[in-house]
Amino acid sequence: AMSGTPALLLEVARKAEKPIVTLEDAAGLAQRLFGLDPVPGSVEDLDSYDDRNFRLSARGGEALLVPADANEASPAGVAHYVLKVHNGVESMDLGFIDAQNLAMLRVRASGIWCPRALSSVDSTLIARAELPLANGTLRSH
């Protein structure tokens, strides 16, 4: 689908289709989509070129089965997560996102630690939400 679109047009579209997500939105998405209970005030916006990324501390969610995944986890059951919201271009290409998730799993299977996608409350590795773009258009991300 995107393979026939010139790279420059895709690049312009990625910037134009960067989703609008507030810190409160990110906390709500983490709770609704992943069953996490974000610690109040812990959500931070991370710099990103064309996606939206947030660091947050939370309780609940999928158990961190690999000790290395509990990086900086506190005894109170709080773990640290990154919530990624893809831009409108990549959000339309689930195969692209799936390939990223599979690449992380492949690296981990080789014995090298790297981040991984957590399962959503629907037991999928890709969770979707309707979010606005800069022009106000709603898009499934």
Please state, for a pLDDT cut of 70, what percent of the chain lies above it: 79
Q: Which of 6-20, 47-61, 115-129 has the lowest mean pLDDT?
A: 6-20
Residue 18's contacts (CB-CB under 8 Å, 6 or more residues apart) are: 48, 50, 51, 52, 87, 88, 133, 134
For residue 64, the number of C-alpha atoms closer than 13 Å in the C-beta half-sphere is: 19
Element (H, E) at 46: strand 44-46
Q: Six-digit token pair at 78?
A: 């709080």
Q: What is the pLDDT of residues 42-90, one digit of tens each?
A: 999 999 888 889 999 888 766 665 666 665 556 567 888 899 988 766 7
pLDDT, the chain, mean: 82
- What pLDDT is recorded for position 77? 76
Q: Is the pLDDT score of 1 beyond 60?
A: no
Ramachandran category for residue 136: left, alpha or beta (phi over 0 → left; psi -120 to 50 → alpha):
left
Q: Is the pLDDT score of 113 beyond 50?
A: yes
Is the pTM higher than 0.85? no
Q: Which of 35-39, 42-46, 104-108, 114-118 has the lowest mean pLDDT?
A: 114-118
Q: How big is the CA angle at 88 (ends 85 and 92), to the nearest 5 degrees?
A: 100
- What pLDDT is recorded for position 136? 81
Distance CA 4, CA 38 (A): 41
Q: Is the pLDDT score of 12 beyond 50?
A: yes
Q: What does the pLDDT average to over 26-38? A: 94
